[in-house]
Structure 1
Amino acid sequence: MDDLDIGEVARRASVPASTLRFYEEKGLIASIGRRGLRRVFDAGVLERLALITLGRSAGFALDEIASMLSAGAQPRIDRRRLLAKADELDHRIRELAAMRDGLRHAAACRAPSHMECPTFRRILRAAIAGTLGAPEKKARLRRG
């Protein structure tokens, strides 16, 4: 496969050239030279950018991603770190599901005022306590 200049990489990866320059500064990707004033990358950079995008989508910080993407061709992905991130995502999913359920309840609640609704008041208390997505608290919210 041919080498790609920064404009082609930006187009194919759907990221601005400024992001590519930033990633190069951070050591996430490396250009292999220049064609005139434009950086040139090996076509393998597209796979590396896909890994970065996947990592960012999963909530990894760029520094975490950089530590997994060694200078060599093969990434060093820490499976324990992946499991920890999956656990974080599970927690966030529970929080978001509880928030969704609370919003649906608030939208359909027949109480004259939301502040008169016992379920809505429990949702408020859970939000204050930071336990909105906790499974045991969510079960209590549903019962009320």
Structure 2
Amino acid sequence: MPDEPLLDIGEVARRSGLAPSALRFYEKKGLIAPEGRNGLRRTYRPEVLERLGLITCARSAGLPVAEIGRFLAARPSDGDLRDRMTTRAEDLDEQIARLTRLRDSLRHAAVCTHEPIVACPDFQRAIGNVAAGASRAVTP
């Protein structure tokens, strides 16, 4: 929308929750582009906030910056990238399962009456499941 006012780097940083240095880094890597300058300050179209949301989501999923650039430009025909996204999703599923087991074992420990708690067979079994899941996650 061409009639929308441009946002300076400080406003984009405030709205996105990212430091101005992160915005400059993403610009250097080609993930975002300024619309121009207002004096010495970079200015951006408001749509950059949506793009930064995608970048933040991809970073949270563990994608490296180089991969995010490919992700943002991906087309349905990019099978290699789709395969990597699927693999990363599977890795996240394993991590979620491991964290769920850890959460459940900590909840058990919080209410367990066994003395000492760490000797509780249920707790040990739960911790064993967490440890087994962790070792599977790092096995090549």
How much has 1:125 moved relative to structure 2?
Answer: 4.1
1:62 and 2:60 matched: no
Q: Deviation per CA, 1:40-69, whole angstroms, max 9, x where unpaired?
A: 223332221111012122222222212323
1:94 and 2:92 matched: no
Which residue is 2:38 aligned to? 35
- Residue of structure 2 aligned with 1:14, choices 3, 14, 17: 17
TM-score (normalised: structure 1): 0.72
1:76 and 2:79 matched: no
Matched residues in 2 for 1:10 and 1:30: separation?
14
Flag structure 2 segments of 5+ consecutive residues without an equivalent: 76-80, 136-140
How many residues are matched? 127
Aligned in 2, Cα 1:7/1:110: closer, same or farther, shift over 3 Å? Answer: closer
Aligned residue identity for 2:60? S
RMSD: 2.4
Aligned residue identity for 1:87? E
Q: Deviation per CA, 1:72-114, whole angstroms, max 9, x where unpaired?
A: xxx3163333322221121111101110111122222232212
Which residue is 1:25 aligned to? 28
- Residue of structure 2 aligned with 1:109, choices 88, 96, 112: 112
Flag structure 1 segments of 5+ consecutive residues without an equivalent: 70-74, 135-144
How much has 1:37 moved relative to structure 2?
Answer: 0.6
Aligned residue identity for 2:51? R
Aligned in 2, Cα 1:118/1:5: closer, same or farther, shift over 3 Å? Answer: same
Aligned residue identity for 2:22? T
TM-score (normalised: structure 2): 0.74
Aligned in 2, Cα 1:27/1:111: closer, same or farther, shift over 3 Å? Answer: same
